[in-house]
Chains A and B, each alone.
Chain A
Amino acid sequence: MIRTQNHVQRATGTSKLLGGLAALLVAWLAVLATGDVASTQTKIVEMCVFVVLASMWNLLAGYTGLVSIGQQAFVGIGTYALVVFANGYDQDIYFSVLPAALIALVAAVPIALLAFRLRGGYFAIGMWVIAEVVRLLVKQYKADPIKGGSGTSLNVPVSLYPKVDRFQTTALIALALAVVAVSVVALLLRSRVGLSLQAVRDNEAGAAGLGVNVYRERFFVFMIAALFTGAAGAVWYLLKIRVQPDTAFSVGDWTAPIVVMVVIGGIGTVEGPVIGAVLWYLVRDYVTSSDSVIHFSDEWYLIYTGLIALIVALYAQRGLWGALQDRFPRLQVFPIQRRLVVGDEVAVRGEDEGNG
């Protein structure tokens, strides 16, 4: 083979600029998180939790074709694992997020082995059924610390966890979790595995025909999604305190808005779900507040945004971010693309750096 000075460019001008802006935004949110405005901290937690949930759902549905409407199973498992560690074993509530996430990961193994036997729509419904079964099982456990269907509250004595302190810490944890989750998604997609995930997204049979082990990639991604979804659920309840199976495992509270956010923001893109989740929250915040010209209840807001998502799914499949990318092909926040620069075989200049 001819030695060439080929190389692959990853970052683009926009990715450097937008990446820098994103870092500034995170820094600003960190400043807000350490402030003393509880309502701002609540918003940061809610938004960051949904950024994590939306990014993970998108990783599953947008890249591996695993459209799950049962991700609330992992929200609930993470939440109840937090309750067990914090209330049952008297562990530090913040520390308990870690084992809670790991429990969600462990639970994902048998769930995947079961649900992966189903395809397409059957998988989607199957996941929902699994989430319902877990919810009902949790409800049956009437003893401490779960306390069955009537639910329980996370033990946060103010002597140990002063409210201002808890809001600050939780907001910072939520922000850190969102940054880590989105970075994991971006780094994963940037990697060799990510190339195959994008291939699977676009054409599953084509990817398999080129040597991609689709089952293994799906399994791997399902585990990552469970880990972060469980962590996100636990972080949410660090703030909300009151835990009930019917809300922690609710499809309407979790997976329904997640799907709406991902579809509107742009399924199968890294940036789309983040933008979708943030937009969805900002707009909801406005239209459910009293100073808005038009006023919606939370339920009507979900219904209206659901309708918008339906229209987007029909007419602009790759959502807001996808539409922008169609117009500006090199637009990206995270440098995932690989742009080949074919080397000049005569003029040997620069290094031939490995990449890929």
Chain B
Amino acid sequence: MGAVIEVDAVSKRFGALAVIEELSFSLEEGEALGVVGPNGAGKTTTLNMIAGDFRPSGGSIRFDGQDVTGFSAYRRCKLGIGRTSQIPRPFEGLTVFENVLVGASFGGAHRGHVARDLAVDALRRTGMISKANVRAGQLTLLERKRLELSRALAAEPKVLLLDEIAGGLTDGEVQELVETIKSIHASGVSVIWIEHIVHALLKVVDRMLAMDCGRVLVQGDPHEVMASDEVKNVYLGSED
């Protein structure tokens, strides 16, 4: 088993603001990695760089051993990097089914009934099938988040990057989501899951990475990381 994602000394500056500084970590094949960190730590920025939304200011990103630092987002998706967005990006004029079909048709590069069945399968697995013919513009925020997951799944990712998809859910819904992500992971997909709801993360992830100020704070066994002094200091006063 090798690393499927390697983030190597990646930095990101927005103008004068250094958001990520020499960040390095990797994701092993078949692994589920949890990412925690306070607001503004640079979690989403890191995920966006892995997905190709924008280029790092320095450093490199490898996927399956291939340097993808210069690849645009659509190529990375086709290679097998799927992602959900913290702020959902639905195609509001299209139905839920059509939204998911985009993932199956372009990310997954399938046609006709293969793409269709892939989309249906993704809708089933994420519990969105009953909404298939609803225009995405009419979905609630939570449904939009779930649509993010359905679409990403339809593109048949090897690695799935999840950005705060459990926020705002009830306990029952979180439990459902945990089961869904577990089953995706069990089907062989490597996962990076950014989440503030730690108890949900702990049910899924094999390893935890805590970030602050664009750097790795600690990483390792999920429970040990969450119990570490570094993480406690960062979260001081903010009980979760």
- A-side interface residues toward B, CB under 8 Å? 1-2, 4, 6, 8, 192, 195-196, 198-199, 201-203, 205-214, 268, 329, 337-340, 342, 352-356
Contact = CB atoms under 8 A, between A and B. Distances in A.
The 4 A-B pairs with the shortest beta carbon distances in the complex, nearest first, are A206-B89, A211-B107, A211-B106, A354-B112
Contacts of B106: 196, 207, 210-213
Contacts of B120: 4, 6, 340, 342
B146 interface: no
Interface stretch (B30-38, B92-100, B173-181, B217-225): B92-100
A338 B98 contact: yes
Contacts of B99: 199
Interface in B120-141: 120-121, 129, 132-133, 135-136
Interface of B: 51-53, 72-74, 77-78, 83, 85, 89-95, 97-99, 101-103, 105-109, 111-113, 115-117, 119-121, 129, 132-133, 135-136, 151-152, 155
A8 B116 contact: yes
Given A340-B120, A340-B132, A356-B116, A211 B89 contact: no
A356 B103 contact: no
Given A202-B92, A209-B51, A340-B132, A355 B112 contact: yes
18 contacts: A1-B117, A2-B121, A192-B111, A195-B94, A198-B93, A198-B94, A199-B91, A202-B93, A203-B89, A205-B89, A209-B73, A210-B106, A210-B151, A211-B102, A211-B109, A268-B93, A339-B95, A355-B116
A214 B75 CA distance: 11
A355 B152 CA distance: 21
A8 to B, nearest CB: 6
Nearest to B110: A356
A302 B195 CA distance: 54
Which residue among B83, B93, B155 has the maximum number of chain A CB atoms within 10 Å of its CB?
Answer: B93
A201 B137 CA distance: 13
Which residue among B78, B83, B92, B94 has the maximum number of chain A CB atoms within 10 Å of its CB?
Answer: B94
A339 B133 contact: yes
A208 B74 contact: yes
Contacts of B109: 211
Which residue among A199, A268, A329, A338 has the maximum number of chain B CB atoms within 10 Å of its CB?
Answer: A199
Q: Interface SS of chain B: helix, strand, loop or mixed? A: helix
A208 B73 contact: yes
A210 B107 contact: yes
A356 B113 CA distance: 7
B93 A356 contact: no
B48 to A, nearest CB: 9
A10 to B, nearest CB: 12
Contact of B98 (A2, A195, A329, A342): A195
Contacts of B107: 210-211
A111 B123 CA distance: 42
Contacts of A352: 113
B117 A4 contact: yes
Given A206-B90, A206-B91, 13 more contacts: A4-B120, A195-B102, A201-B91, A202-B92, A209-B73, A211-B74, A211-B107, A268-B93, A329-B135, A338-B95, A338-B98, A340-B119, A356-B112
A268 to B, nearest CB: 7
Contacts of A354: 112-113, 116
B103 A210 contact: yes
Contacts of B90: 202-203, 206
A201 B90 CA distance: 11
B136 to A, nearest CB: 8
Nearest to A330: B133
